[in-house]
């Protein structure tokens, strides 16, 4: 195994992705008004560093400690379809193998906004999970999943946060009522949200940067001591010399793969973000299952097997979704029924009151003809857990009536489905 950085054994998730960010979400939601914002944040970062360091060491030893595995730290590039060279000059090592897996992940895209790349206040999500200094004013460029997670998190830590989004509203792929539920929570927490805005330039002025944008024909500005571009990620392939291996890529640099994750070279596979698929840790894990099945199993597992893959946006409370939105379902010609209820109105969900988090809503889209669940959006405490139950129900044709009548533990968040599905209309 070749890893270019000693700080990245185990990949993005345990080092700079899921684990540190969700740990920070947890700490941010636990901050009290009496806590000193800077001290509390610095202590949170220190605890994150301790955990990620432990995970990283465990990931390294988990492989390097095996007689059958060798871990090389350095940059790799192909020299032919079966060989990669690790390192440069006299220290270079050639590694040859009959099977090669590419899993180099993705990296943030910095948009071509005049003054942004050269700004001394430009930060990445990685920087924010490692720097112990809490930004006084954070400007998030883009209102997607990553941008909103950091906006929610840092506002709760005590930063002044502004989100600048080019679309007319946040989360344009979600139904409007769902997106509005998230927007209302963020606004209620103090996040400033600017939508329909086109950023034209950025200028540094000492301790802050001035972000200039146009909204509705009017030129406006906002200042930030930290600028976080959250406008997407691209596959990391530029320095792999894939041409030397005969591996084809798409226009955005992603490695082209088939349903078994084979590249244009049948013995080379591409897993995770680098192949241009959905950028989630659990998709990369399933990619690994597919490749293992190709190498050691019956070779039947493919990406086509994926049905009802859930997603979670870790604002506070989280938004978890799966399947079709109401808008998508109607556009596809389904006769739709909708079960929708604000969390604060769900009597059968005392857990929300017990943990003092009654914001959000639950929405389920149901096929009126078959009673099957077509999709769901859960914006509530424990949403990331509830959605897994709904996804499993979709995969196995469990009806809305069955979910309504099921026996759930009490007090739990899942039992809210007893009530919400009882209020289905359409």
Write down the pTM of the prediction.
0.93
Measure Cα distances from 240 to 4, 249, 278 in Å.
12, 11, 21
Domain 125-230 fold: FAD/NAD(P)-binding domain (3.50.50)
Query: Domain map of the chain by residue range?
Result: 2-105+234-305, 125-230, 311-423
Task: Show the tokens assigned to 52.
Answer: 């990620």
Q: How many CB atoms lie within 10 A of CB 293?
A: 15
pLDDT of residue 8: 92
Give the residue from 276, 272, 273, 275 showing the smallest Cα distance to 286: 272
Among the listed residues 26, 203, 267, 410, the single catalytic one is 410
Distance separating alpha carbons of residues 150 and 229, to the nearest angstrom: 11
pLDDT of residue 283: 96
Give 248's DSSP letter: -
Distance separating alpha carbons of residues 288 and 178, to the nearest angstrom: 33
Q: Tell me if residue 302 falls in helix, strand or coil.
A: coil
CATH class of 311-423: alpha beta
- Is 121 an annotated catalytic residue? no
Report the CATH number of the 2-105+234-305 domain: 3.50.50.60
Element (H, E) at 82: none
Residue 9 contacts residue 60 (beta carbons within 8 Å)? yes
Question: Please, what sign has the CA dihedral across residues 61, 68, 3, 314?
Answer: negative
Q: How many CB atoms lie within 10 A of CB 173?
A: 12
Give the helix ranges, DSSP H, for 191-266: 242-245
pLDDT of residue 426: 82
2-105+234-305 matches 311-423 in fold: no
Condensed to tens digits (0 to 9), the pLDDT of residues 157-203 reads: 999 999 999 999 999 999 999 999 999 999 999 999 999 999 999 99
Low-confidence ranges of the chain (pLDDT < 70): none
Bridge-based pairing of strands 100-102 and 268-270 is parallel
Give the residue from 317, 263, 262, 323 showing the smallest Cα distance to 295: 262
Q: Tell me if residue 335 falls in helix, strand or coil.
A: coil
Distance separating alpha carbons of residues 138 and 162, to the nearest angstrom: 6
């Amino acid at each position: 195994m070749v890893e270019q950085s000693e700080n990245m054994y185990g990949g993005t998730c345990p080092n700079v992705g899921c684990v540190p960010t969700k740990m920070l979400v947890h700490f941010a939601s636990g901050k009290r008004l009496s806590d000193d914002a800077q001290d509390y944040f610095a202590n949170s970062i220190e605890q994150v560093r301790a955990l990620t360091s432990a995970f990283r060491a465990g990931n390294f030893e988990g492989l390097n400690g095996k007689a059958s595995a060798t871990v090389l730290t350095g940059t790799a590039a192909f020299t032919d379809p079966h060989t990669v060279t690790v390192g440069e000059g006299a220290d270079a090592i050639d590694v040859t193998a009959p099977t090669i897996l590419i899993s180099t992940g993705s990296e943030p895209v910095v948009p071509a906004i005049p003054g942004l790349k050269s700004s001394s206040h430009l930060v990445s999500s990685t920087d924010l999970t490692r720097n112990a200094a809490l930004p006084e004013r954070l400007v998030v460029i883009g209102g997607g999943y990553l941008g909103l997670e950091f906006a929610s998190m840092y506002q709760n830590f005590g930063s002044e946060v502004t989100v600048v989004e080019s679309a007319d509203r946040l989360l344009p792929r979600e139904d409007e009522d769902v997106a509005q539920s998230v927007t209302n929570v963020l606004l209620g927490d103090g996040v400033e949200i600017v939508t329909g805005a086109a950023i034209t330039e950025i200028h540094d002025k000492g301790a802050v940067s001035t972000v200039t944008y146009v909204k509705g024909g009017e030129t406006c500005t906002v200042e930030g001591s930290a600028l976080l571009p959250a406008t997407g990620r691209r596959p990391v392939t530029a320095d792999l010399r894939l041409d030397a291996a005969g591996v084809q890529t798409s226009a955005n640099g992603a490695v082209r793969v088939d349903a078994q994750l084979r590249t244009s070279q049948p013995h080379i596979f591409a897993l995770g973000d680098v192949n241009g698929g959905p950028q989630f840790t659990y998709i990369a894990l399933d990619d690994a299952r597919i490749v293992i099945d190709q190498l050691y199993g019956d070779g039947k597992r493919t990406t086509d097997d994926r049905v009802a893959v859930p997603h979670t946006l870790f604002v506070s409370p989280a938004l978890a979704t799966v399947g079709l939105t109401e808008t998508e379902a109607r556009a596809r010609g389904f006769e739709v029924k909708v079960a929708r209820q604000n969390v604060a109105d769900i009597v059968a969900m005392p857990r929300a009151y017990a943990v003092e988090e009654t914001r959000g809503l639950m929405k389920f889209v149901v096929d009126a003809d078959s009673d099957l669940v077509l999709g769901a959006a859960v914006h509530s405490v424990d949403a990331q857990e509830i959605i897994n139950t709904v996804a499993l129900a979709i995969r196995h044709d469990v009806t809305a009536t069955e979910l309504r009548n099921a026996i759930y533990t009490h007090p739990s968040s899942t039992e809210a489905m007893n009530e919400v599905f009882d209020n289905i209309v359409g």
